Each structure stands twice: as C-alpha cells, then as structure tokens.
Chain A
Amino acid sequence: MFFPEEMIEVELIVPEENAVAVTNMLAEEGVFHQVDAGYVKSNEEAGPAVAASDWQQRASAFAALERRLLTIMDVLGVEEGVPLPDSDAITDVEAVRPDVERLEKQVQDVTGDLEAEQKRREQLQSYIQQLEPIKQVEVPVNLLRHPSYVFSVLGIIPEDHLTRLETSLTHIPFVLVTLLKDNRRAVVVLAGMQQHADILDRAARSAYLNPLNLPDEYQGTPQQIIDALQAEIAQMHQHAVEREGAISELRKQHQEQLQTLLWRVRTGRLLSDALARVGRLRYTCLIVGWVPTARLDALTQQLKQVTDDVLIETTPVSRSHAGQDVPVALKSPGILGAFRVLVTIYGRPRYEEIDPTIFIAVTFPLLFGAMFGDVGHGLLLALLGGLLASRKVRALRGLAELGPIIIICGLVAAVFGLLYGSVFGVEGILPALWFRPLDNIMSILTTTIGAGVVLLSLGFILGIINACVARDWGALIVGHNGIAGATLYWSLLGIAVQLILGKQVVPIPVLIVLAALAGVAVMFSEVLQRLIDGHRPLIEGGVVTYVVQAVFEMADTLISILSNTLSYVRVGAFAVAHAGLSAVFFILAEMISPAHGVGYWIVVVLGNVFIIGFEGLIVGIQTLRLEYYEFFSKFFKGGGLQYAPLVSLSKRGSK
C-alpha cells in the first residue's frame, strides 16, 4: 500500500515456433509490460527464424491495410464497430490483403476516382468565383487577361495578405480592387504601369496572389463561361446522385465483413508490433518485460499451458537498486484509488518511492474539512460529488473522476461543521462540539500551525525513509529533507515552542548545538553529499563562489522552514473566513429585507450557493497547494515510468 506494486523482471526464452502463441497469450493475460529486446540478435545466421525486422515490416503492412480499410469504410459510411471476442489471434497479412484489395476495387468501380472528381469540382467552382465579379463585363475574357498598355493581374489572394500586399507597393503607383471576399479569400484585380511590371509581379507572387488560369478551351464573355462551367458541375452532380444508390447497396453487403477485417488487421498490427520487440537467438526467441510479482505464478501456469519448452528467468529487483526503467503500477484499493489522480497530476511515483496516495487520501479531506467546516455546506457538497460520480449529467461527465473525492471532502467538512457548530453559516442552531473558529481565532490558528508541524514532520520522516530505501546515503544524512534537515527543523521548533511556553523539556543549549550542527550540514550538503557518495570534484567553480552560494542556500532553507510551517495558518484563516463570509451574507439579507421576506431568503440562498461554489473551489486549491508545496516537496520526486501492459484488443474493448 505504501510502495508501488512489487515488480519482477521476466525473460522468456521460447522456441521460435511458439513465439506467436506466447505473445498472443501475454496479450490475453494483460499483465506483461513488454520491453524492447529487438536489439538481441544471434551472431550466427538464424535458420528458419523470422527476423524482428520482418515483424516490423508486417506491422507496417498491417498499418497500411488498416488505413486502406478505414478509407473504404469512410467512403461507404461504415462504423468501426467493436472487436469480436474471437479476433485476438494473429492473421497472415497475405490472407487478408486479397479481401481488402477486392473490396477496394469494388468501391472504386462504383465511386470512380472520387478524389480527382472532387478536385475538378473545386477547380470549376474557383473559376466561377473569380469570374462572378466581372460577369457583367461584355468583353471576351481573353482581352481582360492580356491588356496591352497596363500590367494587371486578376486572381485570388488570402484575405489576410491584402493589407500586406498594399503596404509592399507603397513606393509605386498601383490600383488594387477587391471584387469579392468569400471564405477568407478575396478575388482582386491588381493593376499598374507596364514599367513597374517586375515589382508588381514580385509583390503579387510573394503575397500569394494566384492569377486566374482559365484553360483556353473556355472562350467568350465571363457570363458565357460561367454558364458553361455551371453546366459541367450540374452534370457531375447528376453522376454523384446515381452513384449514391450503388454505395448504399455496397454498404449493406459488406458492412460486417469490413468490421471483421478491420479488427483482424488491428490485432495483427498490435501483435506484430509486440513480436518486433522480441529478441532473436539462433533457435529461440527472447521476450523481456516486467510483471507484478503477485501475478507471476498465474502467468507462469498460463505459459506452461502454451508450451512446456518455455524457459522463464526472473530477476527480482530491489527498490534500492531500481533504475527508472522499472514500470510503476500503483495499487490503491477502494476509495483510495480516487485520490490517485491528485498524485499523478503532480507526478508518478518512482519504483523506489513511497506512493503518497494514502497520505493525501487522509490529509486532503482533513485539511479541506477544517477550512470548509459546515454541516449544511458539507452535505450539499457531498451530494454534488455523488451527482458527479453518478455520471447522470452529460455536461459533468468529464468531472466524474473527482466525484468520490468531493463526496469524502463534503462529509469531512460536515463533521467539522459539527465540531464548529455551524450549519449553512448559522452558528446558533447546533452546539459546537469543539469550538467556534470566529470566537476562538488564536486557538484555531495555533491548532492549524500545530497540524502543519505534524504534517511537515511526517514529510521529513517519509523523505528519510525514501532516502533509506534508495540507499541515497548522502541525501539521507545531510540532505535538506534528510536527517540533517529534519534535525534542524525540530531543533528550531523545540527552541521556539519552549521559549513561547516558558517551559523547558530539553535544555535549550542542547537544541542550539543540534541546530547549529544540522545547519552546517545542510549548508554544505552539496559538498558533503558528493563526499559521502564518492563523487569528485567536491567543489566545482571555486571555493569562494561555493561558500557564497551555500550561505544564500542556508538563508533560503531557514526562510522555507518558517514559511512552510506558517503556510498552514491558512487552514485556520479559511475556517474563520468561512464563518465570517456566511455572517456577511446574513447581514446583507437583513439589510435587504429586515422582515425576513422573499428578498432575505433570496440573498441567503445565493450567498450559500456562492460559498459552496466559489469558496469551495478556493479551499480545494489551497488544500492542493499545501499538499504539493509544503508536504510533497519534502519526500516526493515523481517521474516514474507508467506500467503499460500488452493487452489484447477484445480485452481493452470489454473494459
């Protein structure tokens, strides 16, 4: 529960002929996180073995077939469907290719070259668009395109480029007339003197003004050419209507076959990809990956059922020597899983790191509840969480993952509401089982600082445990969050508490000596860590620079210690603000309707909605901040590799 799931490295050596069956089985089981072993090759020429590059080629071939199938399905309007239960076995590419080609041909026979036809239609439309603004000109187009005495261009330009084109020609006389603007493009005529033809031409080209390039076959006035073009488009449209019936027929005939083919091809691609990452020895194959240790026995049994000739080598990996290539599977049972999202937003734990999910699952609702303590608001928030989790409101489905967190936070806030004696901001109905924050401001503030001290101390302890597990002795002994950092913190805390309370449990001189020793260790932690870890040189860039840097870092550490602790004051401050804000709304309501009429209740209801929505959000963010900055920064680095097992498509579909 405290660490990511224990993983074990598994090497499977299987006869070449069983490689496909074993890979199939691994995908079926869905627990094997495969690692690329394609770099392993036999020194001798492999006999009948299929090289990894062949599987790579097959994967590419499957991918190409998949794209072709998707194109056919797109043209026919066929949905992808879902993977069939029996579609998990790998198929030979050549067994599927003829079917795909036959279907492709059938579709092409009916549709013709749709792409070419579409382009042709767009081109004709473009001619019409360019001719439209000058259709009333009763002059043959040929004369407009080749004037004798002026330079002119009629064409289309992206609308965004118009102003720039004008700017680029400010130093010569010219005329730029926009005839039509449509779909972020403009039909324009650019004209100027022949002696400036070079400049005008360069400007037009660089502004992407594409001149009208009507083929010579179109003769006559603009209106005559437009009529001819429209007739051609109408003819093409008639062909399209006739074709639609045939497409519909094809869809009915081949829908099921296309869907089956698609999922067979996809399975082929998935498994070929996996097989391309298998290492090739002379007669055997090497499949390497990671499995959760708890699942190893079950997987071994399944493997033995596929073939008795499989050799399974396992390498347990200790957390202290785990590299970053060990995948991290987080196991957070039940409701704890809901809080995992708050951890993974910050980072995925490394294999050797404590998974902070359980700590955030406990501390997050407590901090939230303490800041938002109110029976009524808490229960309403819990109801809202329930609504989110139920996924009944389509618009809120994206937030469903947060539902359980909001439910728990709402319930804890309700419990704190009982402790504070607050319901919907009214503080006279329920007795306070603990105390009312607004009447005991100093008590709530000191209590929350105390809670902060406990949490920060826990952070230091977890940091020390992490350093121990990772055997990072330097960080453990003299690190800012190691023993030295914790000793400095606790010593300074001890001095402060004893001075404030006027009591002495541990002699202050002893604490001063401890703080000084720990302070020196923290100040020179970089050098000391390099010394302990055996890294050289101890100091880079000069002793003086280093000492100056160390002094500043020490100052920074002391400020951090103080600010991290005082940061928890906000918990108390928000508890007070919550009660204060509620009181403000009651005062406002009283001012609007002293006789407690409709206006009074409208303000009260709106005020409560505001508190639940706005203040709830702010409190949530503040809680997250306390967790991430103050708590996590003491022990959690993150950056672990996600556990992504090979899973068959049908299994994915069923999930």
Chain B
Amino acid sequence: MFDLKKHIKANSIDHAIALLIENPDARLIAGGTDVLIKLRDGKPGFSELVDIHGLEELNFIRQDGKNNILIGSGVVFTDIIQSDIIKKHIPMLCDAVQSIGGPQIRNIATIGGNNCNGVTSADSASSLFALNAVLEIRGKGTIRQVPISDFYLGPGKVDLKKGEILTTFKITPENYQGYFGYFYKYAMRDAMDIATIGCAVSLKTKNQILTDYRIAYGVAGPVPLRCPKTEKSVINKKVSKSLLDEISQTIETDVSPRTSWRATKDFRMNIIKELSKRATKEALQRAGEEV
C-alpha cells in the first residue's frame, strides 16, 4: 500500500492546473515509475497526487503545418519507439528511449516524466538537448516556451513553477531536417540499467565538411549538457579520423563528471571520450560519410 493522503484525478490539462493551485503540496503523477517508487520508499512530498495518468490531451505525436514535430508529455516510450514520425525524422530518439528499463517500464513511463524528474541520467534528455527541443509549459492562463537546456536547473530541479505543467516537446525542422544522429548508452547491463554515461550526437555534413555538430551527454555533469567548446571547434572542419581524436580531446573541457557508487570520475571521463568518437562515427556513417 502506498502512503497516499490524497489522490485526485485530473480530466484535462486545465483541470490539472486548477488542482495543482488548489492543492499546493500536490505533485503530478503520470506513468508513476518514479513517483510510486519514491512514495513506496517513504520519500516526503509525494503523499498528495494530481493524477494525469493516461490523459488523452497529452498523448500525441504529430507534425504541425510548419513541420515542427510535437510530442505530448504524456506519450509513453513504447509509442515513441513505434511512431513512424519519430522513426523517420529523429531515429536517434528511438535509440535513446529503446534503452530505457524493460518493456513493462517503457509501456507506462512517459517522456514528460523522464525530463520533469530532473535527473542527469534521463535517457531521453541528451537526444532532446542535441535536437534543441523546446518545452511548452502551461500554467493558469499562461503558456511558456523553454529551451530544454534552460529547463534543467540542477539535480532534481527543473523550471516548473507551482501550478505549471509540461505539455509538449517541440522539435523545429531546422533542428532535425538534414541532420543525422546517434545515441550511445554505456551501462553495466544492456537492459534495466541506469546509464553510466549517455551520449547523443547530431550532425550535418556537406562535401565531407561538418557543417553542424552537436554533442550532448547525460551523467557527465549535474544535469544533461551540451558541449559548446567542442562543437565550436569542429564545425566547418573536414571529416577525418584525426577529427574524431580532436573531439575526444576537447570534450574534457566541456564536461564535469563525478564519482558515484556506479562509476568513478576517471572512468566516466574515459567513457565520455570514447563515446564521443563512437557516437560521432556512427552519426557520420548514417550521414553517408566514410571515416
């Protein structure tokens, strides 16, 4: 039995916002794969829940008239993996969410919950960072658009105010059209494991020149992060094996991994450097470049 004091089912986004304002101590629950574990663990702050589980208004994957890809925050990972839109335009995100938990978890855990949890190991986050995803957040009579890089404020902290709810992930065409991406998760096991390091690369090439390059990591710092120094240093350079080595050298200056019981700082740094090469190579191959 969960130590629940209050459980109120929201039947729309507006209703959920009103309930959150009426019940200032309440938290949102969607898939429950994080909230119910914390509740079971006796963590404080989860005994009042506003329930948006299965809310149809948050369950969509579509392209709008401007070719923006819109993903509802209530979409479960299995639906992302099976989505023709995601498979066709941003297969990297399929790779990433495929690596989460096992089938039972992917059938119920949502992309919104994964990111609102605010943890650096969120497997969907690094791809969304590389795609410059914009998050739509609704409050009472307000709508805000927040770039994902600004959404993560610190470990377990995200830019959501009281009475606000994350509704949509938006990926604009200039951030996915012509890009090739790859996600690499390094963990102790191939399934049911938390990433030691997650690495997402998204790039564009023209005549063997890297015209755009983005690299994002999970667990390489307190929150998921992009690597601006490395990105800047390699854009407009010719694709080559030595460029991969260059990336893996510069990347050290962009990240700040730490020691945890899962892995030491030094080991993480080693994985970060290696994955920068591997993920970049795979993304280049998808782009049709020989390395």
* A and B bind: no
